Structure 1
Amino acid sequence: MPWFAEIISSITFIAWLFLLLCRGLYWRMDDRLTATVADDLCGPSKWPKVCAVVPARNEAAVLPETLPSLLLQDYPGEFQIILVDDHSEDETSDVARAIAQTFRRADRLQIVKAHPLPNGWAGKVWAMQNGLRHVPADAEYILFTDADIRHPASSLSSLVRHARKRRRDAVSLMVRLHVKSKWETLLIPAFVYFFAKLYPFRWVANDKRKTAAAAGGCILVRRELVQSEEGLTPIAGAVIDDCSLAKLIQSRGGRLWLGLGDDVMSVRRYATLAEIWDMVARTAFVQLNYSVWLLIGTVIGMILLYLAPIVTGIAGVCLALSGYTGWIWTGILGLAAWCIMSCTFVPILRWYQLSPWRAIALPAAGFLYTLMTADSAIRFWQRRAGAWKGRPYEIP
């Protein structure tokens, strides 16, 4: 039925043309924050006091790679770090304390123990809430950063400069995730690409839009927007804590900015497909608000966007070359959609210093992420709660 295939290929081509031109130019990936860019901005005449809150659960293995980068920040103003030990079953607190003493920065680090997790609270949000209780009232900014994030020495100065210059109340960075293994190479750039398409960075920074998003690895926010009487209570049960926090900040009148952090890196490694699969399956169905209809729509949309162009493009061209001329436009439109898809993926590949030719494999990543999303729903229906660091998520 060439007419039906031509309709499908037309839909996918129009969809990719729309995404290319009308989705906030999400694919450009030029909203970045680097030390070089920050140096061009005017530094504040008086550097505000900043307090970092680091939720940490069973992070003894990664802290030697990351905690020194926070302790050795060259920030000109007052800077304090509160590491919240979230009921770790390893030596997280002892390792952190030893690192601070080794680098002679014990005065900069405060280690607090999280209170027992109450019903209705997600573990990381509760750890952040515990950290907020120890933030001094004279701090102007709070830096929420994960324990697996390694910062350059100028990271905090760059964030504060950017927030002041752009008049933003919250500045968040999508850090450079670890990409070494074959599965990381295939799936991690695609993860950032899908996130940017869902939450275009330009739209997040546009005060006329309601798009609210953040990347949980690095969020600088004005203290008064999160340290209040209710604190983080409105997002207590949020599994996807970063975007929920961004929405909370926006609801309280905060102005957001989200971009790529060239020099800020995650040391968390995902060597196998199973590790990445579990990471996505834990939260994918949560992102869809546990909606069956959104799940169905997502699966259909992913098939049309990422699989249909290949099938219609290759099949249409092969059939046209075999003498079935009615398939020529099916093949052309399918290949055109595949071409647009690949071109929009190239900027994020370049950011990860990967070959642009890897863009042709984006449909394979899209197919795997579709399966992960479906598996996330199946786990929910089977009452198999996801878990992080050995602590199961609550299933509503």
Structure 2
Amino acid sequence: MGLIILLVQLPAVALLLARLLPGIQRPTPLAPAPEIPAYLGQVSVVIPTLNEVQRLSACLAAVQKQGYSVREVLVVDSQSQDGTRELVAAQQPRDPRLRLLSDPPLPSDWVGRPWALDWGWRQSSPRSVWILNLDADTRPQMGLVPALLQLAIQKNYDLITLSPQFILKYPGEWWLQPALLMTLIYRFGATGVSASSPERVMANGQCCLVRRSVLEKMQGYETAKNSFCDDVTLVRNVAKQGYKVGFLDGSRVLQVRMYEGLGETWREWGRSLDLKDATPIAQLWGDAWFLVSVQGAPLLLLVISFFLTPNLVNQGLFWLNLSLVLTRWGMLFAIRPVYSGWNRNSWTFWLSPLADIFAVIRIVLSSVTRPKQWRGRNY
């Protein structure tokens, strides 16, 4: 049995090393940049909302601090009932760039978020060269927009998404969230490292800058209309058309407060991390094998192998899984800068490898089910 486990694990370990080692030389995080006159009015910001009053206030305050490269800020609301619309309306007199829109009734073959984004860019000014999609839970930092524009223009990107700095509060989320995040890092490598193929491209739609001309040629968000991971689906389809896309470290220019506590993190983020809507079935289950081998099982296998009869195979099993466990704990130091809000509950962050088996189980469970409820809508 030990030999079989080794034969299953060893290819996954080789793949893990191939994905993690390039991260040693990954690009530095995107830094805030000053406004440049040439960027005047080049960006339309689109923020989709549905009952986001608790999170939208911080986002709007941050967006309104962005400079003159932002032509307009379009909040596309899907008939919120919690005061979201009133919040936006109250902010409009303070910033003439802010507009409140309502998207049409959701078609049966669309998911709500891509529908709202599609409506938003179609209502935006044709003089805006770029569309910047932001989620309501984001907190853009000063200098975000000119930094994105400068990078996109200098490096000839057609689309850029950013990984954020996460704001956590409660011990449960400090424990589980890093384990869930690690499933992405193990599968796709460090942020900023180029993907080997469009199918391995990673993205984060919480902050997505895209050329208007690309959206026009892609017919907007049509290719991601029925995807619950529409950001990854869209970006992979854009990459397949030969456009240059980038997924970069935005921890210095973008913060996000995604979910409240352990339960919401497990339920809401966990069910989308499998990326099944953007992933071929063989790749989906290949990733499940990979995550079980290098993240979910090593700690358990390490304990089991310690009590097995000493022989060459069992010793190999022990040392292999010890190396994986130590690598996983070492990764905590690598990802520590992407977290903000450190407090007296943050000590559970250092215990997050103990949540790995649950994170992997969550990914597998999500892979076999399609959401019936998402962001306040039933499907």
Category of TM-score, reference length = shorter chain: 0.7 to 0.9
Match of 1:63 in 2: 56
Conserved 8 A contact 1:13-1:337: no
CA 1:26–1:66 in 2, change beyond 3 Å: closer, same or farther? Answer: same
- SS of the residue corresponding to residue 258 of structure 1 reads strand
Conserved 8 A contact 1:201-1:258: no
Cα distance, 1:51 vs structure 2 = 0.4
Cα distance, 1:124 vs structure 2 = 0.5
| Long gaps (5+) in structure 1 | none
CA–CA distance in structure 1, aligned partners of residues 284 and 241 of structure 2: 30
Identity, % of aligned positions: 22
Conserved 8 A contact 1:27-1:348: no
Cα distance, 1:269 vs structure 2 = 2.9
Conserved 8 A contact 2:183-2:291: no
| Superposition TM-score, scaled by structure 2 size | 0.85
CA 1:60–1:333 in 2, change beyond 3 Å: closer, same or farther? Answer: closer
Match of 2:45 in 1: 52
Match of 2:9 in 1: 12
| Superposition TM-score, scaled by structure 1 size | 0.82
Match of 1:138 in 2: 127
Alignment of 1:91-106 (within 5 A): 91-101=83-93, 104-105=94-95
CA–CA distance in structure 2, aligned partners of residues 129 and 314 of structure 1: 51
The superposition leaves residues 230-283 of structure 1 with CA deviations (integer Å, 9 ceiling, x where unpaired) of 3222221111011112123224442111122223111333213x2122214543
CA 1:190–1:29 in 2, change beyond 3 Å: closer, same or farther? Answer: farther
| Long gaps (5+) in structure 2 | none
- SS of the residue corresponding to residue 202 of structure 2 reads coil
CA–CA distance in structure 2, aligned partners of residues 245 and 155 of structure 1: 22
Cα distance, 1:10 vs structure 2 = 6.3
The superposition leaves residues 291-348 of structure 1 with CA deviations (integer Å, 9 ceiling, x where unpaired) of 887666554433322244223333333456xxx4564333223212322333344311
CA–CA distance in structure 2, aligned partners of residues 143 and 10 of structure 1: 46
Over alpha carbons, which structure has the higher Rg? 1
The superposition leaves residues 74-131 of structure 1 with CA deviations (integer Å, 9 ceiling, x where unpaired) of x243521011011212221211121233xx21x1111111101112011001101110
Match of 1:335 in 2: 322
Cα distance, 1:350 vs structure 2 = 4.2
Aligned pair 1:346/2:312, yes or no? no
Cα distance, 1:215 vs structure 2 = 0.4
CA 1:16–1:350 in 2, change beyond 3 Å: closer, same or farther? Answer: farther
CA 1:250–1:290 in 2, change beyond 3 Å: closer, same or farther? Answer: closer
The one-letter amino acid paired with 1:304 is S
CA–CA distance in structure 2, aligned partners of residues 294 and 55 of structure 1: 30
Conserved 8 A contact 1:152-1:264: yes
Match of 2:139 in 1: 150
- SS of the residue corresponding to residue 164 of structure 2 reads strand
**292-301 vs 304-313, which deviates more?**
292-301
1:168 to 157, 177, 186: 157
Match of 1:77 in 2: 69
CA–CA distance in structure 2, aligned partners of residues 94 and 9 of structure 1: 59
Aligned pair 1:386/2:372, yes or no? yes
Conserved 8 A contact 1:50-1:141: yes
CA 1:341–1:357 in 2, change beyond 3 Å: closer, same or farther? Answer: same
Match of 1:376 in 2: 366
CA 1:302–1:228 in 2, change beyond 3 Å: closer, same or farther? Answer: closer
The superposition leaves residues 33-90 of structure 1 with CA deviations (integer Å, 9 ceiling, x where unpaired) of 122xx46xxx7661151100110111122222210110121x2435210110112122
Match of 2:255 in 1: 265
